[in-house]
Structure formats: C-alpha cells, structure tokens
Amino acid sequence: MKGYSMLAPVYDRLNGTVDYCAWADFLEACFAKYGAAKPSAVLDLACGTGAMTLELARRGYDMIGLDLSDEMLAEADRKARAEGLGGILFLSGDMTAFELYGTVQAVVCCLDGINHLTVREDLDACFALVKNYLEPGGLFCFDLNTPYKFRTVYADRDYILEDDGVMCCWRSRLSKKGDTADFYLTVFEEKDGVWMREDGVERERAWGLRAIENALSRAGMELLNVSSDCAFTVPDASAERWYLTARVPESASKNRRTI
C-alpha cells in the first residue's frame, strides 16, 4: 500500500503547525555552536515536500533534498520553482542507499525521518552514508520520536487531522514489544465537489539513545548533544522528541570531492 507518498498534495496543509523557521534557527544555532565553520552545502535527508530544504535555501545554503517518494519531491520542486529557488538539487533515493555528487558540510533530517529506519542494518547503512558524504568536522542534525512518545501518544490511538477540503484519519497501532508503531492512514480530499479516498500504511521504530549513539560510533561519528526542543533544553523522561547533533571528527579522512 501507499505510504506518505499519497500525502504529498496535502502534506503541508496537514502539518501547518510546524514552525520550520524556528527549527531552521535551531539548526543554524547548532551549526554555529558545534561546527568549525558555517556550512555552505547542506543535504536535507528525507526532505519530503521540501519545507526545510526551502527554508535553508532562503538563508543562503546550497541545498540538496533527497527523498524516496517521487510524489513528495515533485511537490518540493514545484514549491521551489514557484519561489524562484531554482538552484536546489532534488534527488530521488533511499536513505540507506543514496549517492551524491560530492561531499557536504552538514546533513539534516527533520520530522522523525530516522524513525522510519526500523532495523539496525538500515540504521547503520544510513549513518555510514551520512558519514561518507560529510566533510571532516561536518555536522549531522536530526530528530527522533522518543520511546516515551511511542508508549503514550502512539499507543493504539486514533487521530483526525483536518484542513479545508482535506481530512486524514490516523490510526496508530503499537507492537507487543512497544518498539514499533504502524500508522494506518486514510486521506479524504475534495476535488471538484467529490471526495476522493486513499489508504496507506507506514511504520516507525522507537530507537533508544544508546542504540543511536552506538550506531553513530560504528559509522565513525560522535554524538555531541541531545535536546528536547529547539532551545537546547536537556530532555527528561517525558520528552516526546529528541533533537540530536553528531559530528564527523576533524581527523576523519576526506574521500570525496566537495560539490
């Protein structure tokens, strides 16, 4: 069944409460706090409809947006062209098996993209590629839905997301172990007075911090910081989202040319 690809035309309308400007401010604060220099080229991993890609492009970064969904990328490219941001490179690819044309100085992955890697092999493959395409000293900034959120927010609950002319029914079903959640999505969209329906399913994995830190270490990166919000707040046991910053050590050898 279709996953998030079917959401491409309505995704931004259903996520209108996400403050990408504030999130980009936080990413830039991470660049300044943990990076050796301000990055010029940035990869937005699992970029979806490109909300963060475009926001960072407006701020002067050379952006690459990568996503598995061609439908999401088409929407991202449409928005970029409408704003005259023609210099963004959008690539179709899997987080676990992508190829770039050179290295970048930062990689970002927003809105729990890493949670969609549900097995260790995929997590390791993704992190290895991120490290491969990051220059020495380059930063990897990403976020995760926490195990606490899986147990309390996702735990076998149903949600309705609405906007003018669109409604998404979201059913969450937690596994017996509590480490994965399946999201059953039904989208109704009004087109010319007729309501059209599409169904899809997605799965996320609840990764613990130790597992993430170990995976980063296996890939040759170091975890620098974990926050529970965009104000660098130290997370407590009830944090629903972690914002993580990792880095490729300065001593790492460069094995690809810079774009």
Number of domains present in the structure of the chain: 2
Same domain, 238 and 117: yes
Same domain, 17 and 50: yes
- The CA–CA distances, whole Å, from 117 to 44, 113, 141, 201, 224 equal 16, 8, 16, 15, 21
Answer yes or no: is 166 within a domain.
Answer: yes
Same domain, 141 and 169: no
Length of the chain: 259
Using N-to-C axis directions, what is the helix angle for 70-82 and 51-58, rounded to 10°? 30
Same domain, 15 and 75: yes
| Cβ–Cβ < 8 Å for 89, 63 | yes
Instruction: Please give the pLDDT value at position 10.
Output: 74
Answer yes or no: is 35 within a domain.
Answer: yes
Same domain, 117 and 241: yes
Rounded to two decimals, what is the model's pTM?
Answer: 0.91
| pLDDT of 259 higher than 70 | no
| pLDDT of 185 higher than 90 | no
- For 139, the enclosing helix (H) or strand (E) is strand 134-145
Same domain, 80 and 103: yes
| Cβ–Cβ < 8 Å for 106, 81 | no
The residue range of the domain holding 172 is 149-204
Same domain, 58 and 163: no
| pLDDT of 254 higher than 70 | no
Q: For residue 111, give the nearest of 184, 216, 202, 213 by alpha carbon.
A: 202
Percent of the chain with pLDDT over 90: 75
| Cβ–Cβ < 8 Å for 181, 203 | yes
More confident position, 20 or 157:
20
Same domain, 211 and 155: no
Q: What is the pLDDT of residues 10-64, one digit of tens each?
A: 777 777 788 999 999 999 999 999 998 999 999 999 999 999 999 999 999 999 9
| pLDDT of 198 higher than 90 | no
Structure tokens at 94: 């899997």
